[in-house]
Amino acid sequence: MYYLYILKCADETLYTGITVDLFRRIKEHNSTKLGAKYTKTRRPVKLVYSKKFRNRSTASKAENLIKKLPKLKKIKLIKNYLTLKQVYEL
């Protein structure tokens, strides 16, 4: 299983990524050198969205799509105003 996740950073920006171990990855973002360069200077981060995928390919496609969205549409996805399927149809 792969997880797509969106983190809210301390500076109110959003970070999107994928992982096989969601809770380990959030811990890495918050407290180790293994976190992404982007999140290291924006700690603490908080998980605001996650979705399971069966394989890396579909998780990566969804990640790339979300990374291209404007922040407002990401927020709508996070708040469940939009589903991931609806995001694909935009």
What pLDDT digit, counting tens, does each position of 10-62 carry?
999 999 999 999 999 999 999 988 999 999 999 999 999 999 999 999 999 99
Q: What domains does the chain contain, in order, with CATH numbers?
A: 2-89 (3.40.1440.10)
**In what order do the strands lie in the sheet containing 46-53?**
14-19, 2-8, 46-53
Question: What are the residues whose beta carbons fall under 8 Å from the beta carbon of 25, sequence distance 6 or more?
Answer: 3, 5, 17, 19
CB atoms within 10 A of CB 55: 9
Q: What's the predicted TM-score (pTM) here?
A: 0.93
pLDDT value at residue 83 = 85
CA-wise closest residue to 17 among 38, 44, 43: 38
Q: What is the Cα–Cα distance from 32 to 36, expressed in whole angstroms? A: 10
The mean pLDDT value for 63-74 works out to 95
Which helix (H) or strand (E) segment holds residue 50: the answer is: strand 46-53
